[in-house]
Amino acid sequence: MKNKLLVFGSALALLLGSCTSNFEDINTNESGFSNNDLEQDFNRVKAPIRAMERGMYILVADDWQGDIQFNLNADIFSGYMGTPTAFEGNRNNSTYVLLDGWNGAEWVQKYQREMVNAYNLERLTKEKYPQFYAWSLILKVYAMHKTTDYYGPIVYSGFGNADGSTPYDSQQAVYNKFFAELKTAVDILTPIAADKTATFFPDKKDATDGTTGVGNVQKWVKFANSLRLRLAMRISNVDPVKAKIEGEAALAGIGIITSNEDNMAYKAEHPVLTYTGPWTDINAGAPIVSIMNGYNDPRRAVFFHKTKTGTYQGIRLGSIVDSDYETAKQDQFSQIGAIVENNLIPWFNASESHFLKAEGALKGWNMGGGTAQSFYESGIATSFAQLGASGAADYTNDDTSISTGFTDPLNAANNIAAQNLVTIKWSDAVSNEVKLQKIITQKWIAGFPDGQEAWAETRRTGYPKLFLPTNNFSGGKIPEGTFVRRLNFFVNEKTSNPTGYAQGVQLLGGVDTGATRLWWDTGVNKF
């Protein structure tokens, strides 16, 4: 496994080419069927829909590209996980040496597996079968909002241009397109979803959709609206007027996911199960273990396995991994637990909706009744119920517990005092900033193990307060005392799509390094 990752950086650039400038080369059907094969029973639609669903994560257990796409990127930057392996002699993303090979995986996978299929579905269905076009839009937005939140400007509206050009869109333009596409999807599907039992393929629904939505149109409308609320909150510090309009609109009509029975997840073995188990590439992160240990959080038993010493123990970002770590990583540090052992890869959970509504209420949005406090507390209760954890009421009323500091069992140089010093219980007496810190801390806990979403939210809000890396070997590209704000653009774009790449850097508004903030990452929370 280690050797595979070490060679990937050079192999990716040499073998794959630019995913966006060589559109005709990648515009192929991954299902392997010809158009004639797929002509009957809507199979021409089913195959790319299923391919898009499967492409959100790398699902094949021995496909190491998934490890670098999210596990050794967003999952460690978010504070959720840490690596006990000395990739590239400890000069890797954990120590802020952003490896081009690792950072290109998100770009490659999303364009080859998501954008191509979305493009084909639009041509197949937009005029004749608008319900399937709407479905593809929801999947496309879900996939690509993670990509733009990695890099910033991306190729989006111009993907598949007939003239072969691949221009970049600003992140603001991409988000505006997301909102428009989600509205289009909801407008198309809402009349169908009036029948709560309506499905996209009533005859073979279970064979069509690999998610817990099982082709139910109303559940997909709720998912689309929930994404709209998520994205509205993402831009709330940079464009609060647009954010409020979109956030409130998401609650109209059928509304959002608020019950665990509507949680959206893909039914498959979670790839992290392989990365934390047989490959031993990933363990629990120091921030989440330290916060949950301090809170004595009952959900720890679902998220992590105890070490052989009977404790929950994380790994700090930027740790120098030596032979002691390599020997002890399965004994001294917690592996990811039952949360990745249930054959579900979460996409959107009801608890997130409650926390989004809590923040919306804090910002003065109309969240359909309730207060920031009531939504905050229902978010905690919903998370506990989802995970089968007991004691939600006592936990919510805890006004004394705070995060613990971090102690490394193998290297005291990694020790650090607690950073996220907020209690759990709601208080109207504290500032809006402290209230937001409470909301985001609980939302961050409840969202585990989706590190891509968690990393975006920690960048947007600054919460929860994470541990800086022990070692920063970026050579000044990411200043000491700061966090990674983004990933570098896919390195092949510099040579395969130089015009687009230059445009992307210009739209980014800064140098193409991990220190440049994204459009929505203002560093200031607005209420």
The CATH number of residue 239's host domain is 1.25.40.390
Q: Is 521 part of any domain? A: no
Domain of residue 45, residue span? 2-508
DSSP annotation string for 301-316: HHHB---TTSS---B-
Any idea what DSSP says for residue 357? H
Check residue 288 and give its pLDDT: 98
DSSP annotation string for 240-285: HHHHHHHHHHHTSTT----SGGG-EEE-S--HHHHHHTTT---EEB
| β-bridge pairing 81-82 and 283-284 | antiparallel
Check residue 13 and give its pLDDT: 41
| Helix segments in 72-216, DSSP class H | 74-77, 100-110, 116-125, 130-151, 171-193, 205-208
Q: Is 518 part of any domain? A: no
Task: Give the H/E segment covering residue 501.
Answer: helix 498-508
The sign of the torsion formed by the CA atoms of 340, 346, 350, 353 equals: positive
Number of other residues whose CB lies within 10 A of the CB of residue 388: 11
**CA–CA separation, 177 and 317 (whole Å):** 35
**CA–CA separation, 175 and 341 (whole Å):** 34
First to last CA, the chain: 46
Number of other residues whose CB lies within 10 A of the CB of residue 304: 26
CA angle 429, 351, 527 (to 5 degrees): 40
- Helix 451-461 vs helix 217-234: angle between axes, to the nearest 10 degrees? 30
Check residue 163 and give its pLDDT: 86
Total residue length of the chain: 527
Check residue 214 and give its pLDDT: 87
CB 142 within 8 A of CB 83: no
State phi, psi for 216 to the nearest 5 degrees.
Answer: -75, 120
Q: Is 197 part of any domain? A: yes
> Per residue in 344-374, pLDDT tens?
999 999 999 999 999 999 999 999 989 999 9
DSSP annotation string for 167-208: --B-HHHHHHHHHHHHHHHHHHHHHHHTSTT-BSSTTSHHHH
Number of other residues whose CB lies within 10 A of the CB of residue 22: 16
Check residue 285 and give its pLDDT: 98
Q: How far is CA 187 from the centre of its chain?
A: 26
Check residue 36 and give its pLDDT: 53
Q: What is the CA radius of gyration of the chain?
A: 22
Q: Is 306 part of any domain? A: yes
CB 383 within 8 A of CB 299: yes
CA atoms within 13 A on the CB side of 190: 14
Q: Is 520 part of any domain? A: no
**CA–CA separation, 336 and 1 (whole Å):** 18
CA angle 496, 63, 10 (to 5 degrees): 35
Q: Is 524 part of any domain? A: no
pTM given for the model: 0.93
CB 313 within 8 A of CB 228: no
Q: Is 522 part of any domain? A: no
Domain total in the chain: 1
Averages of pLDDT over runs of 10 residues in the chain (527 residues) are: 45 43 42 47 83 79 78 97 95 97 93 94 93 97 98 96 91 98 98 94 66 93 98 98 98 97 94 91 97 98 96 97 84 95 94 98 96 98 98 98 97 97 98 98 98 98 98 97 98 95 98 98 97
Q: Is 25 part of any domain? A: yes
**CA–CA separation, 66 and 70 (whole Å):** 6
Check residue 117 and give its pLDDT: 95
Least Cα distance to 461 among 379, 520, 396, 383 occurs for: 520
CA atoms within 13 A on the CB side of 452: 24
